[in-house]
Amino acid sequence: MGKHRVVTSNKAKGFGILNLAWGIGSVAGPVLSGLLAQPCSQYGIRSCPRILTSYPFLLPCVAAAIFSTAAVFASLSLRETRPNRVPYVQVNGSKPKEDCHQCVLEMGTDPSIKVTESGDEEESTKFVVIPDGTSDDKNRTVPLLRDRNVLLTSFCYSLTGLIFITTDELFPIFGAASERVGGLGLSSSSLGLILGEGGVVLFLYTLLLYPLVSQKLGPLNCFLLGLITSVPLWLVFPAASLLSHARPAQWTLLTVAMAARSAIACTTFTGVLVLISNSASSGNMGAVMGLSHSLCSFFRAVGPAFGGTIWSYAVRQTFPLHQFLAWLAISIIALFTFSIAMLLPPSLNLPAL
């Protein structure tokens, strides 16, 4: 998606839709798995097939395999953005090759442009070989690792992934924990309802509101706004545990917080993805995207273990408000990410030349 040179507003919409698809999958996946897991005991089927009795989680795994296979076949229909042939542009006229080459150079093109000729001397056709910027020049990857904007945006993207994957894994554990250890004591159905509400908000915000916000603020300000507003937001979730005696107020607070979380996730992720795309030229777009997603995948792998470890430590403590500890750590990381993002230049609001 980032390979094509489109205007910034359309790029923001494109990455917003990509983020929306991820959000829908993140919500629909657990719901579908919950409906298909342990069908014999969940639905009280008396004459349940033996295979489902022996393997109660077989159906979710089969569904995941089916969706993965469908994704593979769908990817085969995608159009390749890297051309396999070097483009030739015919140059009309009867100038000699040297004059034609000089003419092309005077137009400000790359000196590596070559001119070839076919036919006999009297009636020849001249072609200009236009480099497409996709040559396998290994030296191009060296400046990439020294590019300040590429490294900063990739690092910010990785920290953002760490923040949201940690909260995604922490909230169900915190919500299902008993009130005695500082949790919410909610049932699985209640947690699913809250998470589903967040998915609906994400869908509506991405399609209706985010394009207006992005057009007004730009990708850099969207990213900064999302980060700074998430700092106090993460402390709202443990604060809901203090309202266990007032369930309506607790539900209202959780509903508003989850809706805000969905809007902030869309604003933050889409903003930083546009910044990463704008930090790369068309020649190294693939390398930049690969670097940023690789770093983010590593941080996403660390996130669940990080959040679970802090929560496990917190529930064993006896000091007041110990349930805030894990969420406070996430807020600190968000604040640190915001301080790093402040170093990004405003020029990233526009694509690199």
- The DSSP result for 192-260, as a single string, is HHHHHHHHHHHHHIIIIIHHHHHHHH-HHHHHHHHHHHHHHHHHHHHHGGGGTT-HHHHHHHHHHHHHH
Domain identity same for 189 and 298: yes
pLDDT tens string 86-144: 554 544 554 444 444 444 444 444 455 444 545 544 444 555 555 544 444 444 444 77
Determine contact, residues 223/156, Cβ cutoff 8 Å.
yes
Question: Does residue 79 lie in a domain region?
Answer: no
Provide CB contacts within 8 A for 22, sequence distance 6+: none
The domain boundary residue, chosen from 69, 101, 129: 129
Q: How far apart are CA 169 and CA 258, in angstroms?
A: 14
Angle between helices 247-278 and 219-239 (to 10 degrees): 150
Question: Does residue 117 lie in a domain region?
Answer: yes
Domain identity same for 182 and 308: yes
- pLDDT of 224 reads 97
Domain identity same for 243 and 283: yes
Q: How far apart are CA 38 and CA 59, in angstroms?
A: 8
Q: Output the six-digit token pair for 75.
A: 């990817």
Q: How far apart are CA 4 and CA 246, in angstroms?
A: 52
- pLDDT of 102 reads 47
Question: Does residue 45 lie in a domain region?
Answer: no
Domain identity same for 181 and 302: yes
217-220's contacts with Cβ under 8 Å and 24+ in sequence apart are 218/8, 218/349, 219/8, 219/12, 219/270, 219/271, 219/272, 219/274, 219/275, 219/278, 219/348, 219/349, 220/271, 220/275, 220/341, 220/344, 220/346, 220/348, 220/349
Strands of the sheet with 88-91, listed across from one edge: 88-91, 124-129, 114-119
Longest dimension (CA), the chain: 95
The domain boundary residue, chosen from 71, 99, 129: 129
Question: Does residue 72 lie in a domain region?
Answer: no
Which SS3 state, helix, strand or coil, does residue 117 take?
strand
**128 DSSP β-pair partners:** 89, 115
Domain identity same for 181 and 219: yes
Determine contact, residues 293/15, Cβ cutoff 8 Å.
no
Question: Does residue 69 lie in a domain region?
Answer: no
> Side chain identity at 134, as an amino acid letter?
T
- pLDDT of 213 reads 92
Q: Which domain holds residue 125?
A: 88-129
Indicate whether this model's pTM tops 0.75. Answer: no
Grouped pLDDT means (10 residues each) for the chain, 353 residues: 53 71 73 82 85 91 94 88 55 48 46 50 50 47 75 95 93 91 85 83 88 91 96 96 91 95 93 91 83 93 93 90 95 97 93 73
Domain identity same for 108 and 186: no
The domain boundary residue, chosen from 68, 100, 129: 129
Domain identity same for 264 and 149: yes
- pLDDT of 14 reads 73
Question: Does residue 18 lie in a domain region?
Answer: no
Q: How far apart are CA 8 and CA 30, in angstroms?
A: 34
CATH number of the domain enclosing 295: 1.20.1250.20
Angle between helices 8-36 and 210-217 (to 10 degrees): 140
Domain identity same for 109 and 209: no
Domain identity same for 113 and 159: no
Domain identity same for 123 and 184: no
Write down how long the chain is.
353
Question: Does residue 287 lie in a domain region?
Answer: yes
Domain count, the chain: 2
- pLDDT of 110 reads 47
Question: How many Cα atoms are found within 13 Å in the side-chain-facing hemisphere of 212?
Answer: 6
The alpha carbon of 178 is separated from its chain's Cα centroid by a whole number of angstroms, namely: 33
